[in-house]
Amino acid sequence: MVALEQKVLREGTVLEGHVLKVGSFLNQQLDVDFLVEMGREIDRIYKNDGVTKLLTVESSGIAVAVAAGTVMHLPVVFAKKNKTSNVSGDIYSAMVHSYTHNTDYKIVVSKDYISRDDKIVIIDDFLANGKALEGLIEIVNQAGATLVGATCAIEKGFQGGGDRLRAQGIRVESLAIIDEMSPEGIAFRK
Ligand code: G4P
């Protein structure tokens, strides 16, 4: 998505440790008009696929998913992090390892909100090592639902998570893929 690449070049800052700061429109302040543009792009990708629900994980993924859900007129389900109770077994859950934060956390979704009849697109803000996506895919599989694809706004291609999932046959269509970045510049995959 050229407009997203241009926005990242205009507003993004590359920090130490291969972190891209995009707080002005995605991670702290939300540029709602631009989010809706991203939502339209996600609609274009999946409009013929019979999608019934969008799935994301709190917190920053919710904004992108809601924008897409608004355009596509679809409900958004978000996994909650670090909810430990599993008393009645009425949840789907998966463990996620974060390389960025060097922690493991659990994500959970109530069984009320995804069923085997659902056709799901997973949405997130960033795709780095792909561990959050893997956890969400596990939840889709536990539900017996169909995974249509996964779209993240910004994929850090050099971390390999997206390509590993593609190699497993998963449809991963990120809106912008960064193949190289440093404080000197950002190169997008063409
Ligand atoms: P992975 O899921 O792809 O394996 O990535 P990882 O665990 O390494 O990422 C951990 C968190 O950091 C995620 O958010 C992810 O969206 C975010 N992240 C990864 N790389 C970048 C980056 O370059 N820039 C920014 N701004 N964020 C990045 P999170 O901790 O789950 O937080 P949030 O969704 O609550 O914001």
What is the whole-number distance in angstroms between the Cα of residue 35 and the centre of ligand 1?
18
Between CA 143 and CA 92 the distance in angstroms is 7
For 119, the 3-state DSSP assignment is strand
Between CA 109 and CA 58 the distance in angstroms is 11
Between CA 152 and CA 89 the distance in angstroms is 30
Q: What is the pLDDT along the chain (190 residues), one digit of tens a residue?
A: 999 999 999 999 999 889 999 999 999 999 999 999 999 999 999 999 999 999 999 999 999 999 999 999 999 999 999 766 555 579 999 999 998 889 999 999 999 999 999 999 999 999 999 999 999 999 999 999 999 999 999 999 999 999 999 999 999 999 999 999 999 999 999 8
What is the whole-number distance in angstroms between the Cα of residue 100 and the centre of ligand 1?
7
User: CB under 8 Å to 87, separation ≥6 — which residues?
Assistant: none
pTM, to two decimals: 0.95
What is the whole-number distance in angstroms between the Cα of residue 155 and the centre of ligand 1?
10
Domain CATH number, residue 124: 3.40.50.2020
Q: For 151, phi and psi rounded to 5 degrees?
A: -130, 125
Report which ligand 1 atom has the smallest distance to the Cα of 124: 16
Cβ atoms of 60 and 38 closer than 8 Å: no
Between CA 98 and CA 129 the distance in angstroms is 8
Cβ–Cβ contacts within 10 Å for residue 156, how many? 23
CA proximity to 83, closest of 59, 101, 110, 56? 110
Report which ligand 1 atom has the smallest distance to the Cα of 131: 4
State the pLDDT at residue 45. Answer: 98
Question: Which residues surround ligand 1 with Cβ inside 6 Å?
Answer: 19-22, 27, 59-61, 98-101, 125-132, 156, 161
State the pLDDT at residue 17. Answer: 84
What is the whole-number distance in angstroms between the Cα of residue 88 and the centre of ligand 1?
30
The structural domain count of the chain equals 1
What is the whole-number distance in angstroms between the Cα of residue 19 and the centre of ligand 1?
9
Which residue's CA is the nearest one to ligand 1's atom 18? 126
Report which ligand 1 atom has the smallest distance to the Cα of 126: 16
Domain span at 99: 2-188
Which residue's CA is the nearest one to ligand 1's atom 21? 19
